[in-house]
Amino acid sequence: MPLLFGIAYGAYASYMARAGGAATFNQLWLALAAGVGFAVLMFLILKGQHAMKRELRAPVWGVFIGGSVGFLRALGDFSVWRSAGLGLAIGVGVTLVTYYWWYTHEEHSRSR
């Protein structure tokens, strides 16, 4: 799963940096670096998330997804503030949703 998401993330990063122009060699390197970085981080989070408490696991996913969205947004012609704001908003949302998900589902599985 991290490999597929990494490929998609890298391709989209290259698309955002291209902004409708012709593809360049630098964009290929950007796609490769972004895709590999995304895939490695996602793999490490998935591998270690079961050892973490939900209070730590939720913000880890929030920072990862929020940072990823903010980076993609910054590749377009948007200001740093708008990119950081969107990344922060998405990150907070992901943190809240994942914390709620794990809070409701871990309690249910522990009672069995």
Q: What does the pLDDT look like over 15-59, one tens digit per residue?
A: 988 877 777 888 899 999 999 999 999 999 999 988 988 889 999
Q: Write down the mean pLDDT value for the chain.
A: 90
Taking residues 67-76, report their average pLDDT. Answer: 93
Q: Give the number of other CB atoms < 10 A from CB of residue 54.
A: 17
Token couple for 19: 């902004």
Could you tell me the end-to-end alpha-carbon distance of the chain, in angstroms, rounded to an integer?
Answer: 30
pTM score, two decimals?
0.86
Q: Give the number of other CB atoms < 10 A from CB of residue 17.
A: 19
pLDDT for the residue numbered 112: 45
Q: Does the pLDDT at position 110 exceed 60? A: no
